[in-house]
Amino acid sequence: MPSFDIASKVDIQVLDNAINTVKKEIQNRFDFKDSLVAIELNKKEYTVNVEVESDMKMKQVIDVIISRSMKQGIDANAFDFSKDAYPSGKVVKKEISVKNGLKQEDAKKIVKVIKDSGLKVQAAIMDNIIRVTGKKIDDLQEVMTLCRNGNFAIPLQFENMKS
């Protein structure tokens, strides 16, 4: 029986490359000359810590992070910017978490959308992936289209396609 997995993960090496590209671009930009900018990636906790001098520069760094990450193939929805930047002495700090893996609530939403679509497929949550099985590959492709068009605010990958 044909099946595939729906996952939401970020390759740490690609993320590391994107953050290094951001650091190089910020160093070479004229508007950041002689200003404090620290961007650190915590690979274990999947967080990016940013320190800059002002809120305006924080917004510029975030824009660069999004644009460079998208060029590296990381979805912009992979970053969680919900935590506010906070002042700490003369600098402004912000912790940006990277969404890695499907959370239980998100997986339940996706399974509900798949079941409500009326397609003849079965969706099962397995740890941090969703396994979708069906009799026809066309039904599975419709599920992929449905998930791409659904606004789940998380990056989704379709992998392990078996026929």
Q: Say how many C-beta atoms besides its own lie within 10 A of residue 61's C-beta.
A: 24
Q: Which residues contact 162 (CB under 8 A, 6 or more apart)?
A: 2, 3, 4
- Rounded Cα distance, 161 and 163, in Å: 7
Whether the model pTM is above 0.95? no
Q: Residues 143, 121: contact at Cβ < 8 Å?
A: yes
Residue with tokens 């009799």: 135
For 3-8+101-162, CATH number out of 3.30.497.10, 3.40.50.720, 3.30.70.860, 1.10.600.10 equals 3.30.70.860
Which of 90, 84, 65 lies closest to 75 in space, CA to CA?
65
Query: pLDDT 10s digit of each residue in the chain, 163 long?
Result: 899 999 988 999 999 999 999 999 999 989 888 889 999 999 999 999 999 999 999 999 999 999 999 999 998 889 998 889 899 888 999 999 998 888 899 999 999 999 998 889 999 998 889 999 999 999 999 999 999 888 888 888 899 888 8
Instruction: Provide the CA 98 distance to its chain's centre, in angstroms.
Output: 6
Residue 139 tokens, joined:
């039904």
For 12-98, CATH number out of 3.30.70.990, 3.20.20.60, 3.40.50.300, 3.40.1390.30 equals 3.30.70.990
